[in-house]
Amino acid sequence: MSISYPKNRIKVLLLENIHKDAYDLFKTEGYQVETFSKSPDEKELAQKIKDISILGIRSKTNITEKVLQNADKLLAVGAFCIGTNQIDLDACSRRGIIAFNAPFSNTRSVVELAIGEIIMLMRGIFDKSVQLHKGIWDKSSAGSFEVRGKKLGIIGYGKIGSQLSVLAEDLGMEVFYYDVLEKLALGNAKKCITLKELLKKSDIITVHVDGSLQNTDMIGEQEFKSMKEGVIFLNLSRGFVVDIIALTKYIKSGKIKGAAIDVFPEEPESNGNDFTSGLQDLQNVILTPHIGGSTDEAQKNIANFVPSKIIDFINSGNSYYSHIRKA
């Protein structure tokens, strides 16, 4: 069923360098499409959104009550990412604005990064590569281990955590998980009743929780104290989940043998901007600029999934996969 409202009067604004496939899909549908590479602040976004029918964002742009006060024509918000914590869903619902995201589209990419980093950290590959670039040959096997037979603790057993569980088990790892919600164990994974139980058991710990504010500083001083000596630690979830100062302390002390961090409490707004962290220049520490889902496949999947759901909603009213809150 076609809509009666002329498609060429529907204006789309895509922010934060959303993949071009999204632009192409909306243009093919007959919409007016504008792109903006950055994440505007609240004041700027409130101005830009005035005549917009469809808004596309990624993780950095916040859709607040104040922004929505200027969104008289807004019909839908598309989050071209997994999470929707940056969107005030209650405020959207009060205004009849529907929100879609891409809950599955970059899962595989994040999982592959985690697996790769676990192996690199267990073998000390990153530091060995740096040394060899400097002309230093070190073929020693000291401190280098297989992942087979090691205990992997997954904090957050959602779409990413559960898929990681399956692949890690295929590599011969013994998998434990902890989640505040009841989740079905896949394969031979074992549920931990408490977070502390998981921390004490695991040789490798990886965090994959959502962006709920209740997860702020979920892993801090006491949690690091509870971990094994020589543990490997990864965070590919949200920057505010881990106390970076405490993490730095335990890396320097040697308790944490290696770490891979893809997300930070404060991140630059754009590519090329300066970045500083106390984790820089530490041994066997891999730092990546929030690229867990930054693969061509993932971004294409997202750029096709979200527009297709929005277009279907505009054309037929189908709200499946949307986030609708009761007022």
Question: Which residue numbers are catalytic?
Answer: 238, 267, 290
Q: 94 with 69: CB under 8 angstroms? A: no
Q: 303 with 21: CB under 8 angstroms? A: yes
Cα 165 to Cα 53: distance, rounded to the nearest angstrom? 40
Cα 150 to Cα 258: distance, rounded to the nearest angstrom? 15
Please tell me whether residue 289 adopts helix, strand or coil conformation: coil
Q: Are strands 231-235 and 256-261 parallel, antiparallel or unpaired?
A: parallel
CB proximity list for 97: less than 8 A, separation 6 or greater: 68, 71, 74, 75, 76, 77
- E-strand spans in 20-120? 32-36, 54-57, 76-79, 98-100
Cα 49 to Cα 27: distance, rounded to the nearest angstrom? 19
Query: Which string of DSSP letters, residue by residue, matches 62-79?
Result: -B-HHHHTT-TT--EEEE
